Amino acid sequence: MQMAQRMDRLPEQFFAQLSGRVLQAVQAGRDVINLGQGNPDLPTPSHIVEALREAVLDPSTHRYPPFSGLPSLKEAVAEFYLREYGVTLHPEHEVAILFGGKAGLVELSEIYLDAGDVALVPDPGYPDYWSGVALAGGRMVKLPLTPNNRFLPDLEAVSTTDWQRAKLLFMNYPNNPTGAVATLDYFAKCAEVASRHGTLVVHDFAYGAIGFDGVKPPSFLQAEGAKEAGIEVYTLSKTFNMAGWRVAFAVGRRDVIRALNLLQDHYYVSLFPAVQRAAIAALLGPQDCVRDLRATYERRRNAWVGALTAHGIHCPPPKGSFFAWMPVPAGVNSSEYADLLFEEVDVAVAPGRGFGEQGDNHVRIGLLTPEARLAQAAERVAQVHAALRLPG
């Protein structure tokens, strides 16, 4: 049976290939240090797990809840945003419950892009932005993120023709894969430029809770004009180590929230109520677990960067997220360098090429293993550099 043409447009699943390669090596008995994925390694905080347990034991959760989500969860989202960012949200009209942030990001392309419409996407960037655009039959215009522009896209460099056809602008700060953090001034500029061209801003705030050196990453919605210019997608996966729970939300512009709810009415019959109750416990419960998690990632960042620096290998410390964006040595590309580390010393990293053309001179490092293991991985990387006389 031949699949629809849209299936042929889907990009290659980069992370699935990487995880399969690592799994095969581990099954063969190799001591692989896997720094190539973005899967949080720490458990969900106990008070959230307990809230889920109690909710599962309550028979009232064993039924379909309202299709657009529990009103109490939307109220918790509004309270969370007011507490954390000073942003006021109407729970019913400015909050949409999502079945994971990834699903929401793909759905937005399906909602707004017709064949030939343009989406502005970061390069390097999260590959699932591409997936939604491909399914919708849209066209991507990639915005280069480079060290020279502090990994912030230059919106003034986008051509007038591309702006005229651009329906969506995807952004993501703290950034995956670069670890960059945007400022409120930059967000205000994005809101102004996008509004001027009639383009919807979609800010992926997956790593919003993870900023280092005392800097709290701002929400896009804190910027002047942002709520009219677009929406923000927030997942509980990273902030509360709820990866795999598939609970997230979109907040912001009212017509976009209505559209998301409309599409999801056709895809799903709402999220399991017990998971929604656990999400409420996460958003409104003790936040010391978030502070502890942030401190853990900062220690890991320092351990990784410090161990490499001790060997003369350069890796800029990220300002946010749980990734480091490491330049590859001169003379090799990201795939060649990743293959070297994997085959020679059993260190798995993600080739930057998998995030876009602009990423081919970097690899992404996931800081999702204990400090001692990160230091061990850095030692192994240094062995390869020394043996092959690679520059730092």
Find all residues with CB under 8 Å of 10, minimum gap 6, and list them. Answer: 131, 134, 135
What pLDDT does 392 receive?
A: 66
Looking up tokens 């997936």, which residue turns up?
131
356 and 228 co-located in one domain: no
In the structure encoding, which two tokens stand for residue 172, read together?
């993501």
194 and 108 co-located in one domain: yes
Q: How far is CA 227 from the centre of its chain?
A: 21
Residue 52 belongs to domain with CATH number: 3.40.640.10
Distance in angstroms (rounded) separating the CA atoms of residues 176 and 19 = 18
What pLDDT does 73 receive?
A: 98
- The pLDDT mean for the chain works out to 94
| 150 has pLDDT over 90 | yes
Parent domain of 253: 47-284
65 and 182 co-located in one domain: yes
Total domains present in the chain: 2
Q: Are 326 and 359 contacting, i.e. CB atoms less than 8 angstroms apart?
A: no
Which residue(s) pair with 387 in the sheet? none
83 and 32 co-located in one domain: no
Distance in angstroms (rounded) separating the CA atoms of residues 58 and 328 = 53
160 and 239 co-located in one domain: yes
224 and 362 co-located in one domain: no
Q: Are 95 and 249 contacting, i.e. CB atoms less than 8 angstroms apart?
A: yes
How confident is residue 25, by pLDDT bands cut at 50, 70 and 90? confident
In the structure encoding, which two tokens stand for residue 69, read together?
């989500």
Which residue(s) pair with 230 in the sheet? 201
Q: What is the pTM of this model?
A: 0.95
Which of 265, 284, 303 is the endpoint of a domain?
A: 284
In the structure encoding, which two tokens stand for residue 174, read together?
């703290």
Which of 234, 267, 284 is the endpoint of a domain?
A: 284
pLDDT in tens, 215-232: 999 999 999 999 999 999
197 and 72 co-located in one domain: yes
346 and 298 co-located in one domain: yes
| 15 has pLDDT over 80 | no
66 and 39 co-located in one domain: no
Residue 297 belongs to domain with CATH number: 3.90.1150.10
31 and 77 co-located in one domain: no
Which of 284, 317, 343 is the endpoint of a domain?
A: 284
Looking up tokens 């910027």, which residue turns up?
223
Compute the half-sphere exposure of residue 366: CA atoms within 13 Å on the CB side of its CA: 19
